[in-house]
A = this chain, B = another copy of it.
């Protein structure tokens, strides 16, 4: 039987698997974790709106409904395309007829000095938990020992959707938490600063939504700094290109993602942002039976730009690759991948979000917020997780956030 090996159980890899699972193929799904992460909600784990378990779904549980899929926990070490085999870090070798690379991206620090050492990413569950622990540890220390200087200033670098969501959630957490749990602390002393190098937030959205987002964030106490470039980051804070220094104990990096260094040694062609170069049928350039999907693939839109590194393109490329594999098995020609932009959304906080649909419709405020909630609940994997998230969110809304704000591993 045809052996398909999928590396990575994110949106892209899982989409390929689902679309292929009832076909006559033998699938091996490989991931370094034993769970799939619902990345769009990681910022809520980081700000204690959700439990880690709410956004993590055990992969083996997913596979129960799939026929012919084997899961294997492991890290990709090498691709031997001559032998049609991959190797894993634990030494195992897994043969394939078709290989689908779906390892996703990781935080990209663009070589800014000190950024990698001193910034927190929020791209994995562990990273999100680390941010949560840090936020509450800073609050605890400030409450116990008195505030010293900018001991509670949080800086978010990068004003895209992730940065806007993170800054909004931090501002809200601070307002709520200080009123109820830290009455001795002054919210004004816990500054949240959002830094964006370009002249507006949410560059992927239309300018009027950027304006709305800026205004909403400012109304919630976020200091929005546009046209502001970061020169370097130290353990004491952030040096800006204009010479200014901002003292901060917690710097969050949401300025962009890139391909993990470890995948640069695979011997596969890498294009812009380090993403694997793919043909229009999503096969990795120079390879007949290796595909790349999701964030790790340099998939092009019809206008020649790269598709954004979001859930939708990952799912669409994953589904397309499943069709391509079926075509190749039956000796049919492959077809061109066409990205269908279904619109984008970003949430700013309670009752505030932005959504831009493909028909040009733009939503803001509670409407956009409720649409955002509904969409994310529907796409969240697993009934249990959905119920748990619904419970947490409802509770959050009613009680203004008792949330799961425990400092673990401490």
Contact = CB atoms under 8 A, between A and B. Distances in A.
B73 A140 contact: yes
Interface string A71-87: 11110000000000000
Interface in A389-406: 391-392, 395, 399, 402-406
Interface in A242-293: none
B61 A408 contact: no
A144 B73 CA distance: 7
A282 to B, nearest CB: 28
Contacts of A181: 58, 60-61, 63-64
A410 B73 CA distance: 11
A241 interface: no
Interface residues of A, number: 52
A125 interface: yes
A53 interface: yes
Contacts of A408: 52, 56, 125-126, 129
A74 B180 CA distance: 20
A141 B71 CA distance: 11
A384 B402 contact: yes
Nearest to A70: B184
Contacts of A391: 384, 387-388, 391
Contacts of A339: none
A35 interface: yes
A405 to B, nearest CB: 5
Contacts of A72: 143-144
A2 B399 CA distance: 33
Contact of A34 (B58, B63, B406): B406
A92 interface: yes
A32 B126 contact: no
- With most chain B CB atoms within 10 A of its CB, the pick from A73, A126, A141, A391 is A73
A33 interface: yes
11 contacts: A34-B140, A51-B51, A53-B53, A53-B404, A56-B404, A61-B402, A90-B144, A92-B144, A384-B391, A387-B391, A409-B409
Given A52-B53, A52-B408, A53-B53, 4 more contacts: A33-B406, A34-B136, A92-B144, A382-B402
Per CB-CB distance, the 3 closest pairs between chain A and chain B, nearest first, are A60-B181, A53-B404, A35-B406
